Amino acid sequence: MKQFDVIVIGGGHAGSEAAAASARKGAATALITLRADAIGVMSCNPAIGGLGKGHLVREIDALDGVMGLAADRAGIQYRLLNRRKGPAVQGPRTQADRKLYRLAMQSLLAAQPNLTVVEGEVVDLVQDGPRVVGVVLKDGSKIAARSVVLTAGTFLNGLIHIGNVKRPGGRMGDAPSLPLAERLAALELGRGRLKTGTPPRLDGKTIDWSRLETQDADDEPVVFSFLNKGPQVRQIACGITHTNERTHDIVRANLGLSAMYGGHIEGVGPRYCPSIEDKIVRFADKTSHQVFLEPEGLDDDTVYPNGISTSLPAEVQEEYVRSIAGLENVRILQPGYAIEYDYFDPRGLTAGLEVKAAPGLFFAGQINGTTGYEEAAAQGLIAGLNAAANALQQDVVRFSRSDSYMGVMVDDLITRGVTEPYRMFTSRAEFRLALRADNADQRLTAKGAEIGCVGPERLRVFSEKMDRLAVARDILESARFSSRDLLESGLRISNDGARRSGFELLAFGEGAQDAVEALLPEFSALDPETKTQIATDALYAQYLHRQQGDADLLRREEEAIIPRDFDYDAMSGLSNELTAKLKRILPENLAQAGRIEGMTPAALTLILAHLRKAKRARISA
Amino acid sequence: MDTIYALASARGKAGVAVLRISGPEAHRVVEILCGSVPPPRRAALRQLVWDGRVLDEALVLVFDAGASFTGEAVAELQVHGSVAVVQAVMRALGAQAGLRLAEAGEFTRRALENGCLDLAQVEGLADLIDSETEAQRRQALRVLSGAIGQRAELWRAKLVRAAALIEATIDFADEDVPVDVTPEVLGLIAEVEADLRLERAGSAAAERIRDGFEVAIVGPPNAGKSTLLNSLAGREAAITSEIAGTTRDVIEVRMEIAGLAVTLLDTAGLRETEDKVERIGIERAIARAQAADLRVFLMGDGEVVGLSPAGDDIVVQGKSDLGGAGVSGKTGQGIAELIALIGARLSSVTQGAGVITRERHRLAVERSIGAMESALHEIENGPQRAEFAAEALRRAVRGLESLVGRVDVENLLDEIFSSFCIGK
């Protein structure tokens, strides 16, 4: 029987990142997928990044992951979102050429040492007691592994709806993995049903582009990977059009035929990604909705009309699409559809995304109730690292709410569960000012080196950057200026007699960097990238200082580990309701316990007291 | 690590009240308030001075880190157990950099974290916490069922809306959301801020209603202050004699006037004196009278030295039994009128009473007002400072958590998704 340290099931965004991470950490890794040429397929919209999502991609990249690298090889329209706001809430995003992305991902994985791609369908898991120790393929062969990462996407009990027509399936054209779903049902994990949708795909040759406004790529593109400087392929523009009253009338008249509104769908869809039916019902007073026409590739005529996902019958789709300006004669290449799929309650997972009830089994991606390529990839990274750590008998790899969006996401998932497909937003991160896309490497690359998932090239680039920043910081800190010096340089600062360092001055917002450059020629002579980075660091420095207390407290609470077998029943003084919640969620540490709804400071103190007691009892025993 | 403080003894009037301070700044604060830090574990008498004012004379006790109840540097201030004194010292502590009021159970929590409780104490903690949570539950119920609940609901809704609008412009910048939410956000924050300012203004009165008012009787020696006090109290609480300067210490009598709890203070007569003991009494009289909510100036033959009537203070002629208008403790003449007058003055203060009755709430409101001010400032600085505005607003909401309950990111998202058609 073949044997690997880690098996990753699935070659989507979660699976690719998981397999690459596990292999980087040094585990002999197999990625099992139905078709090797489908690895890295973007099944929904052809774009990577965005607000919160772009942060995740940068974090993946900081840990030497593959998503940012693949996105940069495929990026055909870079746009930095919130460019006019502060760097903390700027999110890099790009349209991605589907084919280039897929090929990039496949070549990155092919070049990854320790990684073998196996074509096949996993139909079962091998268990030794509760522990998962391998998989069974459709041909009956078994592969043994110390850890198994399952990234099932929408393939678990997937059901595709187009109008009142429904059929089992994962993505369009792929068969679902029913036997595996049955196997997982036997694990008795909490499970629910979610829904997501896609718009019809259009033939770009039949769109009247001359009538449409366009949106160009940024003049100064901001790319994803810290290893890259600029776009690698030609940049294109997207078209913009709008729905109108007639479109809405058509949709409204046919609502009953929609799978969503015809009562065929039980899964919960995301509120931030509503179908055109949803938009028209919930925001009835809006007479027009924006539609982005996104080319799917440089040499591909397929266009993804972002904003009109639907589960109406194909003929109605054609009617309403053709009511939209510029799309009067459009040909639909593939109708839009809604897809329902199973997810498992992520509160059954550890912070390493390991299934509590089945040690050795890790979940990542839509199976955990999330949506989005970036969310899936970030989980894949975490699951892959931990699967490898488990196989190699190394420490669990944890991320904190105070160090990354990845930490925020995992904590949200395992502490609170999901009620709709979970998507990242910057507002989810309470340490948002510290967790920026621009400093993901400063936050995580050194940690990644400790974890053992960062290669030498990445480390070299990182330490050179850190050296440059240290030099800049030195120059800025060693010079101090009185308010009078500053007034002369044109910086508006109250004449309070304080002497400020160059670094402090950089925090004074607009015009500050010019003033500091005028005052400090030595700083002015540095490369623009370093100057911009340190100016950004300076801008947020005082806020970080203010948040440090909160971050320290969080870290201390995270260090107070609650053992899996902690006896909540033996504690007097906790309400029954709270005890029941704690027993269901089994928080891993005090910080997680504190975020359980209804938790009081007194109850936390009580838990802490019992932790201390148990610890002392163990020491004296 | 913050330094925390709290009243360690029960609230209300008592012989002694103990304030406990724990954390890295504990000893420095003692130095600021007392001028010097006594040697560890040795009680020392010190004057507590803040803002140029003597707050009280206190027994001060400090413990070094590693040799204290919490395991941190600790200071204990044993002050006179008067509500006014405790409030004054608490305010002085609250004004120190790096200090904040302790959360419920936080001293115990720190003791635990530093490994300073033994097994038996840990066992006993459950009961303690049980009672604490019960008390908290009752308090929360009280607060939430009354007027404060309704107002808090309103504030909460407005703050959620304001935060959601800003977050929408940040997180859905590439969507079809209205870009200029500024006027609505400014309006919402300004409304809540104005309400909170009113609450803060009324919080002192509300605290008084709960803890009682202090009314000091002051005046020159031998004006009949002690006789008046005894008459008001209906018992011989203070020694009276014809000898000027009989009263040396401050004498307190608790009574009810116009439905309000009032502590009457009889004080030493105010005059220039060479007598050392009398001078201490006079200093004390002045300090307590200044801290009191209302002063009744009982005029006699001599001048009043060191204190003059201000604001609502009442000025009456004493010993009216000897002729003339005024009051007389001896005959009861004018007493009913004086009581009515005191009642009226105190009641007028309570008109402005807010729903905030606790020091903890007052500090929370204070913090939030500060945060809202910076939010307003950042919003006016334009969209490029949106994340700073959002951060300030987040702090404002967090500050009010004890009043409005927790505002979660899910609340913001609910508001965003119900207001805007988000999603491409």
CATH number for the domain that contains residue B350: 3.40.50.300
Assess contact for B101 and B4: CB atoms under 8 A: yes
The pLDDT score that the predictor gives to residue B207 is 67
Assess contact for B185 and B351: CB atoms under 8 A: no
Nearest to A609 among B2, B112, B409 (CB): B112
Is the model more confident about B316 or about A179? B316
CA A281 to chain centre: 30
The pLDDT score that the predictor gives to residue B355 is 52
pLDDT digits (tens, 9 = 90+) for A218-277: 999 999 999 999 999 999 999 999 999 999 999 999 998 988 787 777 778 888 888 999
CA of A289: which chain B residue's CA is closest?
B176
Cα A58 from Cα A52, distance rounded (Å) = 10
Residue B255, strand partner residues? B262
pLDDT digits (tens, 9 = 90+) for A40-79: 999 888 999 999 999 999 999 999 999 999 999 999 999 9
Whether residues B126 and B178 share a domain: the answer is: no
Helix (H) or strand (E) holding B59: strand B53-63
Q: Listing from the earlier edge strand, what are the strands of the sheet with B99-101?
A: B44-50, B53-63, B74-80, B16-22, B3-7, B99-101
Q: How many CB atoms lie within 10 A of CB B410?
A: 12
A36-48: b (≥16 Cβ within 10 Å) or e: eebbbbbbbbbbb
Q: Left (φ > 0), alpha (ψ -120 to 50) or beta: where does A94 sit?
A: beta
Whether residues B76 and B141 share a domain: the answer is: no
Structure-token pair, residue A42? 């973007």
Percentage above 90 pLDDT, chain A = 64
- Any A CB within 8 A of B172 CB: yes
The pLDDT score that the predictor gives to residue B136 is 46
Interface A-B, measured as beta-carbon pairs within 8 A, has a size of 143
Task: Test A606 with B125 for CB contact under 8 angstroms.
Answer: yes
Whether residues B159 and B273 share a domain: the answer is: yes
Q: How confident is the model at residue B125 (pLDDT cuts 50, 70, 90)?
A: low
Chain B residues touching residue A556 (CB < 8 angstroms) = 113
Nearest to A84 among B105, B167, B384 (CB): B384
Whether residues B101 and B248 share a domain: the answer is: no
- Any A CB within 8 A of B384 CB: yes
- Any A CB within 8 A of B249 CB: no
- DSSP string of A82-126, one letter each residue: TTTS-GGG-EEEEEE-HHHHHHHHHHHHHT-TTEEEEE--EEEEE
Nearest to A85 among B104, B384, B422 (CB): B384
Q: Work out the minimum CA distance from B33 to partner chain A, whole angstroms.
A: 25
Cα B350 from Cα B208, distance rounded (Å) = 8
Whether residues B209 and B302 share a domain: the answer is: yes
The pLDDT score that the predictor gives to residue B133 is 45
Cα B139 from Cα B223, distance rounded (Å) = 45
The pLDDT score that the predictor gives to residue B131 is 47
The pLDDT score that the predictor gives to residue B335 is 85
CA-closest candidate to residue B48, choices B21, B22, B73, B30:
B30
User: Three-state SS for B92?
Assistant: helix
Percentage above 90 pLDDT, chain B = 22
Q: Work out the minimum CA distance from B133 to partner chain A, whole angstroms.
A: 6
Q: Which range among A48-62, A595-609, B137-151, B279-293 has the greatest average pLDDT? A: A48-62
Average pLDDT on B316-340 reads: 82
Cα B170 from Cα B383, distance rounded (Å) = 9
CA of B413: which chain A residue's CA is closest?
A427
Assess contact for A73 and A94: CB atoms under 8 A: no
Say whether pTM exceeds 0.90.
Answer: no
Assess contact for B317 and B297: CB atoms under 8 A: no
Task: Test B105 with A81 for CB contact under 8 angstroms.
Answer: no
The pLDDT score that the predictor gives to residue B306 is 81
Average pLDDT on A573-601 reads: 82
Query: Half-sphere exposure (CA, 13 Å, Cβ side) for B343?
Result: 13
As a whole number of Å, the end-to-end CA separation of chain B is 45
Q: Work out the minimum CA distance from A87 to partner chain B, whole angstroms.
A: 9
Chain A residues touching residue B419 (CB < 8 angstroms) = none
Q: Work out the minimum CA distance from A172 to partner chain B, whole angstroms.
A: 21
Average pLDDT on A584-599 reads: 84
Count structural domains, chain B: 3
Task: Test B387 with A89 for CB contact under 8 angstroms.
Answer: yes
Whether residues B97 and B168 share a domain: the answer is: no
Whether residues B159 and B13 share a domain: the answer is: no
Q: Is B222 annotated as a binding residue?
A: yes
Cα separations in angstroms, A404 against A432, A435, A442: 9, 6, 11
Assess contact for B377 and B391: CB atoms under 8 A: no
CA-closest candidate to residue A16, choices A101, A83, A126:
A101
Helix (H) or strand (E) holding B257: strand B251-257
Q: Which long-range contacts (CB under 8 A, 24 or more apart) does B227-231 make?
A: B227/B328, B227/B329, B227/B330, B228/B298, B228/B318, B228/B327, B228/B329, B228/B335, B229/B253, B229/B264, B229/B266, B229/B329, B230/B329, B231/B329, B231/B330, B231/B332, B231/B335
The pLDDT score that the predictor gives to residue B178 is 66
Structure-token pair, residue B99? 């200090």
Nearest to B105 among A432, A433, A601 (CB): A601
- DSSP string of A128-186, one letter each residue: ETTEEEEEEETTS-EEEEEEEEE--TT-TT-EEEETTEEEE-SSTT----HHHHHHHHT
- Check pLDDT > 70 for residue B405: no
CA of A83: which chain B residue's CA is closest?
B384
In degrees and rounded to multiples of 5, residue B96 shows phi and psi of: -80, 140
Whether residues B349 and B367 share a domain: the answer is: yes
Q: Is B247 annotated as a binding residue?
A: yes
User: Three-state SS for B272?
Assistant: coil
Q: How many CB atoms lie within 10 A of CB A365?
A: 32
Q: Work out the minimum CA distance from B9 to partner chain A, whole angstroms.
A: 19
Average pLDDT on A110-134 reads: 94
State chain A's mean pLDDT as an integer. 90
Assess contact for B95 and A592: CB atoms under 8 A: no
The pLDDT score that the predictor gives to residue B132 is 46
CATH number for the domain that contains residue B65: 3.30.1360.120
As a whole number of Å, the end-to-end CA separation of chain A is 44
In degrees and rounded to multiples of 5, residue B299 shows phi and psi of: -90, 145
Torsion of CA A124, A127, A131, A134, to 10 degrees: -60
Can you give the residue ranges of every domain in chain A? 2-194+341-451, 201-339, 456-550, 560-620
Nearest to A283 among B112, B172, B421 (CB): B421
Non-local CB neighbours of A491 within 8 Å, separated by 6+ positions: A505, A508, A511, A512, A515
Nearest to B108 among A306, A426, A605 (CB): A605
pLDDT digits (tens, 9 = 90+) for B167-201: 988 988 777 666 688 899 999 999 999 988 888 77
> Could you give the angle at the alpha carbon of A326 between the alpha carbons of A324 and A327, nearest 5°?
60
Whether residues B269 and B316 share a domain: the answer is: yes
Assess contact for A375 and A528: CB atoms under 8 A: no
- Looking at CATH, the fold of the domain delimited by A2-194+341-451 is given as FAD/NAD(P)-binding domain (3.50.50)
- Any A CB within 8 A of B122 CB: yes
Q: Work out the minimum CA distance from B28 to partner chain A, whole angstroms.
A: 20
| ipTM of the prediction | 0.86
Sign for the CA dihedral angle at B416, B418, B421, B424 comes to positive
pLDDT digits (tens, 9 = 90+) for A375-433: 999 999 999 999 999 999 999 999 999 999 999 999 999 998 998 899 999 999 999 99
Whether residues B168 and B316 share a domain: the answer is: yes
Range of the domain at B132: 118-145
Which of A94-98, A102-106, A322-326, A557-561 is least confident?
Answer: A557-561
- Looking at CATH, the fold of the domain delimited by A201-339 is given as Elongation Factor Tu (Ef-tu); domain 3 (2.40.30)
Cα A521 from Cα A509, distance rounded (Å) = 19
Rounded (to 5) percent helix, strand, coil in chain B = 50, 15, 35
> Could you give the angle at the alpha carbon of A322 between the alpha carbons of A318 and A326, nearest 5°?
140
- Any A CB within 8 A of B114 CB: no
Cα A140 from Cα A89, distance rounded (Å) = 50
Chain B residues touching residue A427 (CB < 8 angstroms) = 167, 170-171, 390, 409, 412-413
The pLDDT score that the predictor gives to residue A332 is 96
Domains A201-339 and A560-620 share a fold: no
The pLDDT score that the predictor gives to residue B115 is 72
Task: Test B133 with A600 for CB contact under 8 angstroms.
Answer: yes
Torsion of CA B336, B340, B343, B344, to 10 degrees: -170
Assess contact for A451 and A510: CB atoms under 8 A: no
One-letter amino acid of A47: A
Q: Is B381 annotated as a binding residue?
A: no
Rounded (to 5) percent helix, strand, coil in chain A = 40, 20, 40
Q: Work out the minimum CA distance from A174 to partner chain B, whole angstroms.
A: 26
Chain B residues touching residue A612 (CB < 8 angstroms) = 112, 115, 117, 122
Structure-token pair, residue A15? 């699976």
Whether residues B268 and B312 share a domain: the answer is: yes
Task: Test B417 with A606 for CB contact under 8 angstroms.
Answer: no
Whether residues B304 and B384 share a domain: the answer is: yes
- Looking at CATH, the fold of the domain delimited by A560-620 is given as DNA polymerase; domain 1 (1.10.150)
Portion 82-111 of B in contact with A at CB < 8 A = 103-106, 108-109
One-letter amino acid of B333: Q
CA-closest candidate to residue A281, choices A304, A260, A301, A264:
A260
CA-closest candidate to residue B60, choices B89, B30, B35:
B30
Chain A residues touching residue B178 (CB < 8 angstroms) = none
pLDDT digits (tens, 9 = 90+) for B299-308: 887 777 788 8
> Could you give the angle at the alpha carbon of B140 between the alpha carbons of B136 and B144, nearest 5°?
175
Task: Test A85 with B103 for CB contact under 8 angstroms.
Answer: no
Assess contact for B267 and B225: CB atoms under 8 A: yes
